[in-house]
């Protein structure tokens, strides 16, 4: 975080309307800003990126199925026709609730209402070595880094003579058997089975492992037994080695050590095992639950602060049906944002606020190119029809007509040709060999 400027953020439009500042333009923050478009609030939306990211499809960027631009959307464009919403790219650092002020790397900003929607980051559960060597997937740039890393590993592997010495470059280990881990493992196995053997005919893929490790007793722990069993069956048929009730102890960039003493050789450890909420300063310890989520009431307001709200992955509302909080998924973030937008408008009209009630719309995960598992509240199904449902739901959820069209064309092409065409190793900057500080063979991606 760069130095926090002690001056107000300049050039913001003047307005007599109450100022609502939204921190974070992910699922919750963006939904709230869109629902309050052209309503009687001055809305200032801040995010450290100038684009919205569609996280459920990160794994397709990582596995060369989609361009990063297909799942990212420029925030300014969304508010072209809005009179009351202003976007600023700024990283938020701290809140001063007494002065009703937030501090960012672009200056400070005063508010009447403040909404935190900062999402979550990867949780390594305290292991510094795993954090250092593993590859997370919580941003579109991290997904792109994974794509570069995998392709660059293969470009290196073809130049290594002995099969034994190539193993760790070719193997992939994914930690975390939730939807992200399952989707990554399925897509990686399909690359291994169908695409890489044609790209790298010099290499033998019989020995290349795709391993999925889960600490709990089953994959997709929050889904139905049918979904869990089918996902395991689909992955096994694709040749993924699934290890449940297995904990990773450490990773040194080459070797994964498991708690039982077993080891796995890999240069690529993809970490999809946990999340922790993004934090800013200005909150006291008792405002947080032990898992780092901020405790809120049924109107998403922070207990002990007036007109400060938290939405999405960073908030925790305890209710009878969800004593440990609502699931940290897009639907929770979207529904909370919708309820808060309505309550803020009710405040204006002097009407009472309505409490948030989570509506479970179900969950799903896809395994490879044409199979998926879907749990709806009253109906569960798996297989090809589930995969079509998954495609449709994700296509509808993506922002922008151009993005929908591009993704639809990409998916159709990949389905028919089985050949995702984005296996490009695009590095941010070319570094001449004479300028490189490390030996070339240690450089994976820039």
Using DSSP, state whether 408 is helix, strand or coil: helix
| CB of 103 vs ligand FAD, minimal distance in Å | 11
Question: What is the token pair recorded at 290?
Answer: 């032990």
* Contact with ligand FAD (CB under 6 A) among 220, 302, 305, 330: 330
Give whichever of 241 and 360 is closer to ligand FAD, judged by the CB atom: 360
Interface size with ligand FAD, residues (CB under 6 A): 33
Asked if 167 and 207 touch (Cβ cutoff 8 Å), the reply is: yes
Asked if 422 and 66 touch (Cβ cutoff 8 Å), the reply is: yes
Q: Is position 310 an interface residue for ligand FAD (rule: CB under 6 A)?
A: no
| CB of 423 vs ligand FAD, minimal distance in Å | 20
Q: Which residues contact 149 (CB under 8 A, 6 or more apart)?
A: 135, 267, 268, 444, 445
Give whichever of 27 and 166 is closer to ligand FAD, judged by the CB atom: 27
Binding span for ligand FAD by CB under 6 A among 292-300, 324-332, 398-406, 429-437: 324-332
Binding span for ligand FAD by CB under 6 A among 115-123, 163-171, 242-250, 412-420: 115-123
Binding span for ligand FAD by CB under 6 A among 9-17, 219-227, 306-314, 375-383: 306-314
Question: What is the token pair recorded at 422?
Answer: 């984005």
Binding span for ligand FAD by CB under 6 A among 3-11, 155-163, 240-248, 325-333: 325-333
Give whichever of 116 and 203 is closer to ligand FAD, judged by the CB atom: 116
* Contact with ligand FAD (CB under 6 A) among 4, 18, 34, 49: 49
* Contact with ligand FAD (CB under 6 A) among 65, 119, 177, 368: 119
| CB of 87 vs ligand FAD, minimal distance in Å | 11
Give whichever of 249 and 404 is closer to ligand FAD, judged by the CB atom: 404
Strand 92-96's sheet: what is its strand order?
92-96, 101-104, 107-110
Binding span for ligand FAD by CB under 6 A among 13-21, 117-125, 154-162, 294-302: 117-125
Of 302, 152, 177, which Cα lies nearest the Cα of 248? Answer: 177
DSSP string, 134-168: SB--SSHHHHHHHHHHHHHHHHHHTT---HHHHHH
Residues 6-35 that bind ligand FAD (CB under 6 A): 23-29
Question: What is the token pair recorded at 425?
Answer: 């190793």
Asked if 45 and 33 touch (Cβ cutoff 8 Å), the reply is: yes
| CB of 233 vs ligand FAD, minimal distance in Å | 20
DSSP string, 50-74: SEEE-GGGHHHHHTTSS-GGGGEEE
* Contact with ligand FAD (CB under 6 A) among 65, 176, 179, 325: 179
Residue, CB closest to ligand FAD: 26
Q: Is position 134 an interface residue for ligand FAD (rule: CB under 6 A)?
A: no
Q: Is position 390 an interface residue for ligand FAD (rule: CB under 6 A)?
A: no
Q: Is position 118 an interface residue for ligand FAD (rule: CB under 6 A)?
A: yes
Using DSSP, state whether 78 is helix, strand or coil: helix
* Structure-token match 């400070």, residue found: 108
Q: Is position 58 an interface residue for ligand FAD (rule: CB under 6 A)?
A: yes
Count Cα neighbours of 62 within 13 Å in the Cβ-side half-sphere.
30
Cβ count near 145 (within 10 Å): 19
* Structure-token match 């695409």, residue found: 195
Task: State the burial class of residue 438 (Cβ atoms within 10 Å of its Cβ: 0-12, 13-18, 19+).
Answer: exposed
Q: Which residues contact 163 (CB under 8 A, 6 or more apart)?
A: 204, 207
Residues near ligand FAD, by CB under 6 A? 23-29, 46-49, 55-56, 58, 91-92, 117-119, 137-138, 179-180, 278, 280, 312-314, 328-331, 333
């Amino acid at each position: 975080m760069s130095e926090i400027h002690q001056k107000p953020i300049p050039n913001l439009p003047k307005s007599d309307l109450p100022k609502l500042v939204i921190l974070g333009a992910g699922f919750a923050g963006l939904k709230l800003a869109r629902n309050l478009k052209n309503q009687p609030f001055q809305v200032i939306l801040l995010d450290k990126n100038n684009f919205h990211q569609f996280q459920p499809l990160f794994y397709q960027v990582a596995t060369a199925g989609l361009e990063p631009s297909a799942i990212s959307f420029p925030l300014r464009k969304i508010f072209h026709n809005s009179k009351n919403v202003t976007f600023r790219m700024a990283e938020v650092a701290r809140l001063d609730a007494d002065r009703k002020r937030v501090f960012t790397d672009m200056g400070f900003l005063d508010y009447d209402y403040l909404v935190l929607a900062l999402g979550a980051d990867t949780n390594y559960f305290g292991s510094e070595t795993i954090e250092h060597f593993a590859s997370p997937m919580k941003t579109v740039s991290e997904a792109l880094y994974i794509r570069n890393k995998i392709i660059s590993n293969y470009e290196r592997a073809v130049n290594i003579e002995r099969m034994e010495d190539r193993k760790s470059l070719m193997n992939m280990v994914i930690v975390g058997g939730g939807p992200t881990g399952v989707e990554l493992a399925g897509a990686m196995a399909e690359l291994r089975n169908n695409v890489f053997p044609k790209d790298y005919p010099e290499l033998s893929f019989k020995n290349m492992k795709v391993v999925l490790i889960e600490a709990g007793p089953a994959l997709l722990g929050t889904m139905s037994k049918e979904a869990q069993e089918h996902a395991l069956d689909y992955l096994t048929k694709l040749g993924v080695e699934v290890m449940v009730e297995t904990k990773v102890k450490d990773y040194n960039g080459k070797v994964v050590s498991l708690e039982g003493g077993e080891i796995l050789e890999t240069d690529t450890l993809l970490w999809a095992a946990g999340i922790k909420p993004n934090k800013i300063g200005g909150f006291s310890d008792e405002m947080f639950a032990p898992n780092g989520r901020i405790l809120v009431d049924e109107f998403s307001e922070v207990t002990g602060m007036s007109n400060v709200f938290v939405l999405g992955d960073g908030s925790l509302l305890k209710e009878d049906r969800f004593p440990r909080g609502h699931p940290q998924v897009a639907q929770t973030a979207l529904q909370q944002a919708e309820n808060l937008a309505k309550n803020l408008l009710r405040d204006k009209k002097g009407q009472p606020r309505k409490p948030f009630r989570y509506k479970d719309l179900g969950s799903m995960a896809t395994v490879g190119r044409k199979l998926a598992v879907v749990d709806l509240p009253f109906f569960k199904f798996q297989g090809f029809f589930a995969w079509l449902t998954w495609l449709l739901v994700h296509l509808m959820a993506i922002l922008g007509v151009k993005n929908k069209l591009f993704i639809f064309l990409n998916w159709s092409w990949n389905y028919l040709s089985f050949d995702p065409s984005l296996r490009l190793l695009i590095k941010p900057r070319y570094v001449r060999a004479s300028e490189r500080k490390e030996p070339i063979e240690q450089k994976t991606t820039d």
